[in-house]
């Protein structure tokens, strides 16, 4: 009897000890690796974008909706594209830069490629883009501006710390005279104008709320100053100058396109390197001139010419084309005489150099779809002067415009470079939306 009591007593003591030890060694709180993540039952998630935990753990968005700023929505902001993941959940993506949805939902860039301007490539556009290819810790490449990126300052992977900012490729601790250094959610510093920043109005972190409030003169108000226009709604309202704001040019929500990115006087204008081109029906379109590849004729093939334009989000201008995603046709139906239409140029850097005018890109009537031909002409030294060449019997010819033929080439493979033209150090191609 005593033996049984002893056994029961030992078991009871052991159970108590186990409970005590179990309580003493309770599970430690979960810590997420990213500051913008919250521990939920499914793991660490970003409540601002996670469709299964939108705004709060366990709050799932209905099928087809995306989670934006912690709220479920049918529409994506800022021109983003809504894609549907496995299971029907929606997600907002920037198809211009998203490697998993490049140019369209589900269009995945290959290993080592980057989504730039909605196309997969190994570069971040030409020298005018100001960006450099860098690799994340996981090896996925991305484009970074080494002049301003706090995570890649001066060189890829050079992180500015201790409250410093990346300015002109160097980590520095100061902002401009009209700005104040504030800290981001993850501790990354940034410069803010406390007089007009809705998220830092008067002081860092002082956010304007309420209906149609915006930061004017360092105070949250329902009014904008003279000459400004109020855009947005709810707590996201803000005051803009419609004469100069590239994202609200001439009116709220009017974003300047890639080939006219500068807002001046309430209208979008072309960048340096721009000009115009005549369509065969007589209408005039805006173009941007970029070097063909590295700017030499030996590097300029049809493939390179197209990539030079798609890298900045535009299409290669061709006098005639059957039509592809990377080529825009000027509308010619007969173009077998090295026609390149009529252009003007507004950039002094392009003046006096060469334009590789494409007569046929991806065309079958005169050349095969794997061939091309065209005409290399010298760009006039005088800005805004019309130049180009269209054969008298071909579509798009205009008798009142001058025709100056240059160095022509006939049907040759897409991978064959254009011929050299005397006096040219840089060979440009014309690009447009």
pLDDT in tens, 389-427: 999 988 899 999 999 999 999 999 999 999 999 999 999
pLDDT at 330 over 90: yes
Same domain, 393 and 283: yes
Task: Classify residue 361: in a domain, yes or no.
Answer: yes
Instruction: Provide the pLDDT for residue 216.
Output: 77
pLDDT at 187 over 60: no
Same domain, 293 and 374: yes
Task: Classify residue 424: in a domain, yes or no.
Answer: yes
Residue of higher predicted confidence among 159 and 211: 159
pLDDT at 171 over 70: yes
pLDDT at 180 over 70: yes
Same domain, 281 and 262: no
Which pLDDT band, with edges at 50, 70 and 90, does 128 fall under?
very low
Q: Within a 10 A sphere around the Cβ of 8, how many other Cβ atoms?
A: 10
Task: Classify residue 249: in a domain, yes or no.
Answer: yes
Average pLDDT over residues 11-40: 54
Same domain, 255 and 288: no
Q: Would you call 246 exposed, middle or buried from its count of C-beta atoms within 10 A (0-12, 13-18, 19+)?
A: middle
Same domain, 253 and 331: no
Same domain, 282 and 415: yes
Same domain, 266 and 404: no
pLDDT at 54 over 50: yes
Same domain, 262 and 367: no
Task: Classify residue 187: in a domain, yes or no.
Answer: no
Contacts of 305 (CB under 8 A, 6+ apart): 292, 293, 316, 356, 358, 361, 429
pLDDT at 25 over 70: no
Instruction: Provide the pLDDT for residue 228.
Output: 79
pLDDT at 4 over 50: no
Task: Classify residue 374: in a domain, yes or no.
Answer: yes
Which pLDDT band, with edges at 50, 70 and 90, does 145 fall under?
confident
Of 235, 254, 270, the one marking the end of a domain is 270
Q: Which domain holds residue 366?
A: 274-432
Instruction: Provide the pLDDT for residue 262.
Output: 64
Instruction: Provide the pLDDT for residue 411.
Output: 92
Domain count for the chain: 2
pLDDT at 22 over 50: no
Phi, psi of 15 (to 5 degrees): -60, -45
Answer yes or no: are the C-beta atoms of 359 and 338 closer than 8 Å: yes
Same domain, 330 and 258: no
Average pLDDT over the chain, rounded to an integer: 78
């Amino acid at each position: 009897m005593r033996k049984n009591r002893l056994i029961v007593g030992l078991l009871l003591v052991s159970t108590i000890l186990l409970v005590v030890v179990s309580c003493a060694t309770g599970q430690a709180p979960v810590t997420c690796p990213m500051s913008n993540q919250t521990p939920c039952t499914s793991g660490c998630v970003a409540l601002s974008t996670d469709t299964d935990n939108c705004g709060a753990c366990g709050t799932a968005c209905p099928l087809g909706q995306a989670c934006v700023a912690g709220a479920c929505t049918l529409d994506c902001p800022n021109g983003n594209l809504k894609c549907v993941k496995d299971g029907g959940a929606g997600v907002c993506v920037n198809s211009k830069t998203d490697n998993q949805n490049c140019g369209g939902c589900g269009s995945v860039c290959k290993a080592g490629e980057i989504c730039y301007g909605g196309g997969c490539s190994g570069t971040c556009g030409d020298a005018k883009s100001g960006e450099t290819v860098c690799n994340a810790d996981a090896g996925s490449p991305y484009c970074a501006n080494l002049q301003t990126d706090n995570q890649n300052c001066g060189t890829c992977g050079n992180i500015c710390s201790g409250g410093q900012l990346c300015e002109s490729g160097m980590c520095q601790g100061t902002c401009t005279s009209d700005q104040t250094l504030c800290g981001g959610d993850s501790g990354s510093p940034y410069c803010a104008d406390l007089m007009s920043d809705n998220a830092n109005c008067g002081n860092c972190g002082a956010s304007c709320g309420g209906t149609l409030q915006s930061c004017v003169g360092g105070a949250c108000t329902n009014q904008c100053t003279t000459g400004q226009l109020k855009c947005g709604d709810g707590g996201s309202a803000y005051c803009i100058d419609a004469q100069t704001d590239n994202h609200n040019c001439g009116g709220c929500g009017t974003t300047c396109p890639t080939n006219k990115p500068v807002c001046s006087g309430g209208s979008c204008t072309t960048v340096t390197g721009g000009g115009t081109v005549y369509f065969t029906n007589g209408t005039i379109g805006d173009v941007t001139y970029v070097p063909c590849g590295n700017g030499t004729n030996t590097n300029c093939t049809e493939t390179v010419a197209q990539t030079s334009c798609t890298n900045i989000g535009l299409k290669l201008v061709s006098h005639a084309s059957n039509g592809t995603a990377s080529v825009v046709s000027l509308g010619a139906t007969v173009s077998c005489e090295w026609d390149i239409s009529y252009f003007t140029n507004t950039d002094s850097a392009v003046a006096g150099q060469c334009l590789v005018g494409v007569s046929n890109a991806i065309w079958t009537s005169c050349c095969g779809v794997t061939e091309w031909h065209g005409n290399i002409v010298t760009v006039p030294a005088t800005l805004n002067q019309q130049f180009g060449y269209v054969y008298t019997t071909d579509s798009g010819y205009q008798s009142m415009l001058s025709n100056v033929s240059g160095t022509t080439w006939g049907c040759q493979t897409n991978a064959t470079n254009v011929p050299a033209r005397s006096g040219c150090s840089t060979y440009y191609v014309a690009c447009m939306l």
